[in-house]
Amino acid sequence: MPNILLTRIDNRLIHGQVGVTWVNHLGANLILVANDEVSEDEVQQSLMEMVVPDSIGTRFFSLQKTIDVIHLASDEQNIFIVCRNPQDVLKLVEGGVPIKKVNIGNMHFAPGKTQISSTVSLDEKDKAAFRRLHELGVELEVRRVPTEAVDVDILKHI
Residue 83 has pLDDT above 90, yes or no: yes
User: How crowded is residue 90: how many other Cβ atoms within 10 Å of its Cβ?
Assistant: 21
Residue 107 has a pLDDT of 95
DSSP secondary structure code for residue 107 in this structure: B
Rounded mean pLDDT of 3-29? 91
Catalytic residue list contains 15:
yes
Residue 151 has pLDDT above 80, yes or no: no
3-state class (DSSP) for residue 4: strand
Residue 22 has a pLDDT of 93
- Structural Rg of the chain based on CA atoms: 15
Of the chain, the percentage scoring pLDDT greater than 90 comes to 84
Quick one: CA torsion of 107, 152, 83, 147, rounded to 10 degrees?
110
- Alpha-carbon span 141 to 101, nearest angstrom: 8
Position 20 confidence tier, pLDDT thresholds 50, 70, 90? confident
Whether 38 and 45 have beta carbons less than 8 Å apart is answered as yes
Provide the total of helices (H) and of strands (E) in the chain, helices listed first: 6, 8
- Alpha-carbon span 63 to 150, nearest angstrom: 27
Catalytic position from the list 15, 25, 134, 157 = 15
The third-level CATH classification (topology) of the domain covering 3-156 is: Fructose Permease (3.40.35)
pTM metric for this prediction = 0.94
- Alpha-carbon span 71 to 38, nearest angstrom: 21
Residue 19 has a pLDDT of 77
Domains of the chain, residue spans: 3-156
Q: How far is CA 117 from CA 124, 154, 157, 158, in A?
A: 16, 9, 10, 13
pLDDT digits (tens, 9 = 90+) for 94-123: 999 999 999 999 999 999 999 999 899 999
